């Protein structure tokens, strides 16, 4: 009971406590411990730091933080000395711990500077009245927003990620957290809140982009003894992990948004539907919920008002279709996770038949800044009818991978080239897939396209929840379409014929084409079927599953034609259409390819040009990987002359 906050003064008191942790008068070291940081070895570094600090009895405040977004630089560690900027160190190993401790204790930066990524002098946490000044110094270290990855970014949803400790409510409050809730509950009526959200122009970040304020209004209008709010944290798109990071790095911002939404529509219970494959996010959310209850932010009479509301976690088993709102509700009710026809919409008849408002994780994250700084302020960020920012998970064949938060309307080019640094392979970027299996492939020549709901839709794709997969010249677009259709077939719930049979038949046609057995008629049928399934499927899964097919045919038809007419895969990906050969002029007869071939398809006599038996070859590419003389060549649609019988290798002066 002692911690319950009931007044603004009470909130300010906790804020002061939290600020003492963010700006302590001893060195503060925070280790990036979201899933990406842990996967890169952050936990081992944290444990080593802890051990050495304890053993040497050092006066250092060691803590955890979430992900700052630049995942390819993990493990990341922030070190702040009193009065100095936060210095972000990257790509650290356990062996670097003495170096970090030395900096924390002496203030001398490591001489090689090789792990110093950037600095943060001040930070606009968005929900604080003014940015927090961490300190000014170090002319030689680039400010965080001057390094290319962050240049096009604006951190609104990721306002605390990678800086504060996600396991500490006091640090959240230090950054202005729960002040919006205070304002909403004590100074605003539900209608005023809905008006503000409408004014902001916020559209749902779960993919469809439906105006959030309008949706809340529908749910509020329903008369019912019980109403629910749900946070959709299913996030099943391959390559997407924005929501996971939002929950792991700043769980309280989701809780705060949900309480405000619940108050606005008149809900008394909330659920976070989250896939069980996100154990860390679940752990942090559970802890945050517990803390919120302890501080009187969840439960009965929130912040001393008459409003009571609580949040519970509902674990999903990880089916993509359960991200669809009606399937999600079915799954929560203990039924098979299958969508149903709408109307009635969840706002009218949702969980257990009661009015229910479902929003995506990231939608909830935007609520407290909107309430605190106003809908007008929010509406000035981003583009017309596409306000605010969006977090994208930039993955695939791109140099810098991670979470990129940009104002809506930012051109794709800036995300892929400025933030991402172009292709990691040094090859040309060919396309980007947005919106996961429901989205489409946008070719490089359209990269000036602004990323927002409407422009992406006009190009045949969707924004989806924010997955962005970069593809280079070595990606076969027919194979890519097949991959996404395979996903749709696996994930289809089987309820409607277009979703079940349509996706299956499209997948089969794509398979046939990638095997070099496709005909022009197949291509025509594929196009027709794709359009038909889009129009007739019951839910969004089926309606959007044809998008990868439609966009690849629209932008990369030449690749389909090459597979069908020339029996050639231009990107040399489709196994049935490629062959590996050994160049007699380059082979040194070293036997390494023959020794590594899993099916003994290589005649590899020492000193003789090795020969691949095309009948036996399974085209796994191992020979090419292991050959140190670049003698193995991959071809599609062409052949080279190789000796019939092994001949001695070509040597200088032979």
Ligand X SMILES: Cc1cc2nc3c(=O)[nH]c(=O)nc-3n(C[C@H](O)[C@H](O)[C@H](O)COP(=O)(O)O)c2cc1C
> Dihedrals φ, ψ of 228, to 5°?
-130, 155
Q: How far apart are CA 347 and CA 220, in angstroms?
A: 8
Instruction: State the pairing for strand pair 77-80/86-89.
Output: antiparallel
Q: What is the rounded distance in angstroms from the CA atom of residue 227 to the CA atom of residue 265?
A: 8
Candidate list 176, 207, 337, 516; residue touching ligand X; CB under 6 A: 207
- Whether the link from the prior residue into 343 is cis, omega within 30° of 0, is yes
Respond yes or no on whether the N-terminal peptide bond of residue 563 is cis (omega within 30° of 0). no
- Choices 193-201, 207-215, 294-302, 444-452; region in contact with ligand X by CB under 6 A: 207-215
Check binding of 386 to ligand X (CB under 6 A): no
Q: Is 217 in the site for ligand X (CB under 6 A)?
A: no
Report in angstroms how near the CB of residue 638 gets to ligand X at its nearest: 41
Report, in Å, the least distance between residue 211 CB and ligand X: 8
Residues ≥6 apart with Cβ < 8 Å to 561: none
Residues 446-485 within binding reach of ligand X (CB under 6 A): 465
Pairing of strands 356-360, 382-383: unpaired
Near ligand X by CB under 6 A: residue from 27, 316, 323, 570: 323
Query: CA 634 to CA 620: how far, in whole Å?
Result: 11
> What is the signed CA dihedral for 385, 201, 450, 380, rounded to 10 degrees?
100
Name the minimum Å distance from CB 212 to ligand X. Answer: 6
CB 179 → ligand X: shortest distance, Å?
A: 23
Q: Is 206 in the site for ligand X (CB under 6 A)?
A: yes
Round to whole Å and give the CA distance between 400 and 416: 9
324 binds ligand X (CB under 6 A): yes
296 contacts 259 by C-beta, under 8 angstroms: no
Whole-number minimum distance, CB 215 to ligand X, in Å? 6
- Output the smallest distance, CB 355 to ligand X, in A: 15
Q: Answer yes or no whether residue 331 interacts with ligand X by CB under 6 A.
A: no
Looking at beta carbons only, is 346 or 570 nearer to ligand X? 346
CB of 339 to ligand X, least distance (A): 7
8 A C-beta contact, residue 530 and residue 537: no
236 lines the binding site for ligand X (CB under 6 A): yes
- What are 396's strand-pairing partners? 470
SS3 category, 470: strand
Nearer to ligand X, 365 or 590 (CB): 365
Does 489 engage in binding with ligand X (CB under 6 A)?
A: no
Provide the minimum distance between the beta carbon of 359 and ligand X in the complex, in angstroms, as a whole number.
4
Residue 360 touches ligand X, criterion: CB under 6 A: yes
- Stretch in the footprint of ligand X (CB under 6 A) among 57-65, 253-261, 516-524, 534-542: 534-542
- Measured from the CB atom, the residue of 208 and 446 that comes closer to ligand X is 208
Between 104 and 395, CB nearer to ligand X: 395
Residue 554 CA to residue 551 CA, distance in Å, equals 5
- Asked if residue 358 binds ligand X (CB under 6 A), the reply is yes
Which residue in this structure is represented by tokens 């679940």? 282
Instruction: Show contacts with ligand X in window 149-188 (CB under 6 A).
Output: none
CA–CA separation, 91 and 72 (whole Å): 8
- Chain centroid to Cα 407, Å, comes to 16
Which residue number, 495 or 563, has a Cβ lying nearer to ligand X?
A: 495
List interacting residues with ligand X (CB under 6 A).
204-208, 210, 232, 234-236, 320-321, 323-325, 358-360, 363, 465, 539-541
């Amino acid at each position: 009971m002692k911690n319950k906050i009931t007044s603004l003064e009470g909130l300010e008191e906790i804020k002061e406590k939290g600020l003492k942790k963010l700006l302590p008068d001893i060195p503060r070291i925070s280790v990036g411990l979201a899933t990406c940081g842990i996967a890169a070895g952050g936990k081992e570094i944290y444990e080593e730091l802890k051990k050495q600090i304890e053993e040497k009895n050092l006066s250092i405040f060691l803590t955890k933080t979430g992900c700052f977004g630049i995942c390819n630089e993990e493990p990341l560690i922030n070190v702040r000395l009193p009065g100095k900027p936060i210095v972000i160190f990257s790509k650290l190993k356990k062996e670097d711990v003495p170096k970090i401790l030395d900096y924390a204790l002496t203030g001398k930066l490591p001489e090689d500077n090789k792990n110093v990524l950037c600095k943060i002098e001040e930070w606009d946490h968005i929900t604080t009245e003014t940015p927090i000044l961490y300190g000014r110094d170090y002319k030689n270290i680039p400010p965080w927003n001057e390094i290319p990855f962050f240049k096009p970014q604006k951190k609104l949803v990721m306002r605390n990620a990678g800086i504060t400790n996600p396991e500490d409510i006091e640090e959240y409050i230090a950054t202005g957290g729960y002040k919006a809730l205070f304002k909403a509950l004590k100074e605003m009526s539900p209608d005023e809140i809905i008006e503000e959200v409408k004014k902001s122009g916020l559209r749902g970040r779960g993919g469809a982009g439906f105006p959030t304020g309008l949706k809340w209004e529908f749910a509020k209008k329903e008369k019912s003894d019980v109403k629910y709010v749900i946070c959709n944290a299913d996030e099943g798109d391959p390559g997407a992990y924005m929501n996971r990071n939002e929950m792991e790095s700043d769980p309280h911002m989701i809780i705060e948004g949900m309480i405000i939404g619940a108050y606005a529509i008149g809900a008394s219970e909330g659920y976070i539907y989250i896939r069980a494959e996100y154990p860390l996010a679940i752990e942090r959310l559970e802890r945050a919920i517990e803390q919120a209850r302890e501080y009187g932010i969840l439960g009965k009479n929130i912040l001393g008002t008459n409003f009571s509301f609580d949040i519970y976690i509902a674990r999903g088993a990880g089916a993509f279709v359960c991200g669809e709102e009606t399937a999600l509700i079915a799954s929560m009710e203990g039924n098979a996770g299958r969508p149903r026809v709408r109307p009635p919409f969840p706002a009218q008849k949702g969980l257990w038949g009661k009015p229910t408002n479902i929003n995506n994780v990231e939608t909830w994250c935007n609520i407290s800044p909107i309430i605190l700084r106003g809908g007008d302020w929010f509406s000035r960020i981003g583009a017309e009818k596409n306000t605010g920012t969006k977090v994208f998970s930039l993955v695939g064949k791109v140099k810098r991978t991670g979470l990129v938060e940009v104002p809506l309307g930012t051109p794709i080019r800036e995300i892929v080239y400025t933030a991402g640094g172009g292709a990691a392979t040094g090859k040309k970027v060919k396309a980007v897939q947005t919106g996961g299996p429901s989205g489409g492939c946008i070719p490089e020549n359209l990269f000036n396209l602004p990323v927002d709901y409407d422009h992406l839709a006009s190009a045949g794709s969707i924004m989806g929840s924010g997955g962005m997969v970069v593809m280079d010249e070595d990606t076969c677009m027919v194979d890519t379409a097949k991959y996404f259709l395979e996903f749709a077939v696996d994930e289809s719930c089987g309820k409607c014929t277009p979703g079940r049979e349509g996706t299956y038949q499209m997948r089969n046609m794509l398979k046939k084409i990638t095997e070099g057995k496709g005909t022009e008629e197949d291509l025509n049928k594929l196009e027709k079927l794709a359009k038909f399934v889009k129009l007739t499927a019951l839910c969004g899964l089926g309606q959007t599953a044809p998008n990868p097919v439609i966009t690849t045919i629209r932008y990369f038809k030449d690749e389909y034609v090459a597979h069908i007419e020339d029996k050639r895969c231009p990107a040399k990906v489709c196994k049935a259409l490629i062959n590996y050969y050994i160049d007699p002029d380059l082979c040194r007869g070293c036997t390494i390819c023959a020794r590594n071939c899993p099916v003994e398809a290589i005649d590899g006599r020492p000193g003789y040009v090795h020969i691949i038996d095309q009948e036996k070859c399974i085209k796994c590419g191992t020979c090419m990987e292991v050959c140190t003389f670049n003698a193995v060549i991959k071809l599609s649609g062409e052949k080279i002359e190789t000796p019939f019988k092994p001949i001695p290798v070509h040597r200088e002066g032979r």
